[in-house]
Structure 1
Amino acid sequence: MEHSALLDLADRFGHPVLDGSLPASSATFADGARFRIEIPSCEGPDVFAAVLEEAQARDVRIDRVSQGSGVMMLTDAEIRRMAAMGADAGVEVNLFIGPRGAWDIGGQAKATAAAGGAARGNTTLAACVNEALRAVDLGIRSLLVGDVGVLEVLGRMKAEGVLPAELALKTSVLMPLANAPTGAVYERLGATSLNVSTDLPVRDIAEIRAATSAAVDVYVEVPDDQGGAVRFYDVAALIRSAAPVYVKLGVRNAPNIYPSGHHLATVATALGRERVRRAELVLTLLADLAPDLAERPKSDTPPTDLRIPVV
C-alpha cells in the first residue's frame, strides 16, 4: 500500500497524521490556563511540606502533586495530613492506587516496564478498588491508575455513583500511551488526565490532543528509568500544540525511591525540592521564549476542574 493510502486510512478512522506546521490547541483548563505545574513523586506529607515551602520561596505556583508509592504505603493519618495540606494550599493531591505487577511475585513485570503497573489477577484488581475507596474516604479526589482494567472498573464505579463523580482518574506513565487511538480509549474508559509516553515528539502529542479532551501530562524532565530525556526547550511548543497540559518535572540522575518511607526520607525530600527548582527553570525559560504562554490566570479560589481534597 502506498504511503498516501496509509495516511488516508488513518484519517478515515478519525486519527489523521499531522504533517507540516502543527495546529495550535485552543483548549484550556476551566480557568483559562493553558498549562499547570505538577510535582511528581511527592512521597508523603513531609515531602509535600518541603515542596510547598520550596514553591513559596521560589514563587513557583504548584497545581498538583502526585505520589508514586501508592495508597497502601501511607497510613490513614498521613493521607489525612496530605489531604488537609492540599485543601489549605489549593493543590490537587494525586495518589497511586493498588498493588502493581512490578512488586508482585511474577517475573514479566520485573523484566519489562510495560507490565510494571499491571494488576495481576482479579484479587489484585479488587485490592486496587479497595485502595481507591480508602483514599476517597480519607478525602482524596484524584487517583493515579496504572492498569487499564482497573481504569475501566473505576470509571464504571464513578458512573454508578459508588465513587464521586468529580474524582480525577489520571493514567500512569506505566500505562503506555504512544498514539491518539490509545488516548481516546483511555478517555472512554474514564481517564480525566492522560500521562503520555515520555519519548514522544511534539507532533505525536498534538495528535493525542486532537483525539481527546482530557488534559495531557508530559514529563519535561524524565526519570532515568523512563528514558531520562530533558525537554525544557520543548515546553512552549507542547503548550501551544497540546493545551491543556500538565508540565511534569522529574529529576535525572536520581534513584528510584518507590516504595518510599522513613528510610528514604532525606533523599525523597531533597528530590521534591529539586523538582520545584526544575519547575522554576522551566517557567523562566518559557517566559523568555513564549511570554504569551507564560501567564496564568490568578484567582482566590481554585478552578473547578482542580480536584482539591475534601476535608
Structure 2
Amino acid sequence: MRSPVPTPSAPRRPGAAALAGIGHSVPPTDPAEASPHTFPDGGTWRTEIPSVEGPEALAAVLKESSRLDVPVHRISQGSGVWMLTDDEITEMVDACAERDVELCLFTGPRGTWDIGAATRTDSGGAGLRARGHDGLAGCVEDALRGTALGVRCLLIADEGVLWTLHRLRATGLLPADTTFKVSALIGPVNPAGYAVYEHLGADSLNIPSDLTLAHLSEIRRASRAPMDLYVESPDDLGGSIRMYEAAELIRRGAPLYLKFGLSKSPGIYPYGAHLREHTLATARERVRRGRLVLDLLARHGADGGMSPLGSRLPGELRRFPTPEGN
C-alpha cells in the first residue's frame, strides 16, 4: 500500500492555474471552515467499501484492493447479519482480521422488508426502522450473534436500536470495543440531529451525500463524531458523484470515512446467489472507484492525512447518561 503523503498547507485546487492564466478568478477558500477534529490516530480520513455482501464478494474486494493498491479501513455489508450463516460470518471476520480491516454488518429486521404497507407509499413511512418490540429484539439478537462471532462494528438504521445497543455495550453485554455506524438511510441532516445520534451511542454517522460543504462545517461545530460519506452514492440515495470535491469534503468533514459507492447499479439487498455475478462485478468496481478518488487526491496534493491502516476506533465521544448509570 502507498504511504500517506504529508498534507501541504493548501491543496491545489482543480484547474486553478489554468483559469488564473486567462483571468478567471477562483473563489477564495476560508481556512476557518476547516474541521478542527481528527481521528484519535491523528488522521483526517479513512476509506470504506460498502455493499460487500458475503465471503465471495469480500474476497473479490480484497483481491482488487491489492491489485489497484487501494487502502481499505472498513468493509460494510447491507443485507444484514441474519442473511449470513455462522460459517459465512466467521469466514468474513477471519479474512478481514488477516488484512487488519474492520468488518461492519447490518443489524436486524427493517421496516422496508416487513409487512408494513406504509414503507411502500410515496412518503416511505418509517423507512428502515425496526417496527415494534420484535423488530427491536431482532436487532439485539443480530448484535449478540454477530459480536459473539467476532464482528466489532454494527450498522444501525433505528434510533431506538442504537440507544438499546449502546446501553448493552455500556453494561458489558456487548464488547466494549464494539462500534456503531448509523446508516445513510436515516442519516442526520442538521447539526442538532447529528449531535443527538452521537449522544445516543453512534461512533460514526453516514450523512446523506446531498449535504453541502457548508452543512459539513455546520455539523463540525456541533460534533466531532466521525462522518461517513458516499463520494459516489447509489441511485436510491441520489446517485451523487462528488469525486472532485473529495479534498474539500475531508477538509470540512474530518474525521471522515470516504465511501466508494456506485451509481447506475441495481440494488442487491437482500443478497443471494441469484445476484452473484452482478454483486461480484460491482464489488470490484467500487474498489476501482476508490482508486480514481485516491488518484484525484494525489494529483491535487491532498492525499496526506490518511489514518494508518488498521485504525478503527473513533476516539472519545459524548453520550447521554444511561439508566444503568454508565
Residue by residue over 1:186-223, the C-alpha shift from the partner in whole angstroms, topping out at 9 and shown as x without a partner, is 00000000110221011102211221121100111010
Partner of 2:173: 162
> What is the distance in 2 between the residues matched to 1:278 and 1:113?
30
The verdict on how the C-alpha distance between 1:137 and 1:297 changes in structure 2, with shifts beyond 3 A counting, is closer
> What is the distance in 2 between the residues matched to 1:198 and 1:264?
26
Aligned residue pairs: how many?
285
SS of corresponding position for 2:185? coil
Amino acid at match of 1:35: W
- Runs (5+) with no aligned partner, structure 1: 1-19
The verdict on how the C-alpha distance between 1:42 and 1:34 changes in structure 2, with shifts beyond 3 A counting, is same
Quick check: 1:221–1:232 contact (8 Å CA) kept in 2?
yes
> What is the distance in 2 between the residues matched to 1:120 and 1:46?
31
Amino acid at match of 1:275: R
Partner of 1:305: 313
> What is the distance in 1 between the residues matched to 2:36 and 2:303?
12
> What is the distance in 2 between the residues matched to 1:193 and 1:116?
20
Describe how 1:177-256 pairs up with structure 2 within 5 A: 177-256=188-267
SS of corresponding position for 1:115? coil
The verdict on how the C-alpha distance between 1:268 and 1:134 changes in structure 2, with shifts beyond 3 A counting, is same
Residue by residue over 1:43-75, the C-alpha shift from the partner in whole angstroms, topping out at 9 and shown as x without a partner, is 011001000000000011011010000001000
Are 1:103 and 2:106 counterparts? no
Quick check: 1:196–1:205 contact (8 Å CA) kept in 2?
no
Q: How far does residue 295 in structure 1 lie from its aligned partner after superposition?
A: 5.0
Residue by residue over 1:151-209, the C-alpha shift from the partner in whole angstroms, topping out at 9 and shown as x without a partner, is 11011111111111111100001113101100100000000001102210111022112
Q: How far does residue 293 in structure 1 lie from its aligned partner after superposition?
A: 4.0
> What is the distance in 2 between the residues matched to 1:178 and 1:216?
12
TM-score, normalised on structure 1?
0.88
Are 1:123 and 2:134 counterparts? yes
Q: How far does residue 107 in structure 1 lie from its aligned partner after superposition?
A: 1.3
Quick check: 1:113–1:174 contact (8 Å CA) kept in 2?
no
SS of corresponding position for 2:245? helix
Partner of 2:78: 68
Quick check: 1:115–1:174 contact (8 Å CA) kept in 2?
no
Higher helix share: 1
Q: How far does residue 298 in structure 1 lie from its aligned partner after superposition?
A: 4.5
> What is the distance in 2 between the residues matched to 1:204 and 1:103?
31
Amino acid at match of 1:260: Y
Amino acid at match of 2:311: P
SS of corresponding position for 1:247? strand
* CA RMSD in angstroms, aligned pairs only: 1.7
Quick check: 2:46–2:73 contact (8 Å CA) kept in 1?
yes
The verdict on how the C-alpha distance between 1:306 and 1:183 changes in structure 2, with shifts beyond 3 A counting, is closer
TM-score, normalised on structure 2?
0.84
Quick check: 1:92–1:306 contact (8 Å CA) kept in 2?
no
Deviates more, 1:137-146 or 1:20-29: 20-29
Describe how 1:8-27 pairs up with structure 2 within 5 A: 21=30, 23-27=33-37
Q: How far does residue 122 in structure 1 lie from its aligned partner after superposition?
A: 0.8
> What is the distance in 2 between the residues matched to 1:298 and 1:138?
25
> What is the distance in 2 between the residues matched to 1:68 and 1:47?
12
Are 1:259 and 2:270 counterparts? yes
> What is the distance in 2 between the residues matched to 1:275 and 1:297?
20
> What is the distance in 2 between the residues matched to 1:98 and 1:197?
22
Quick check: 1:143–1:168 contact (8 Å CA) kept in 2?
yes
SS of corresponding position for 2:249? helix
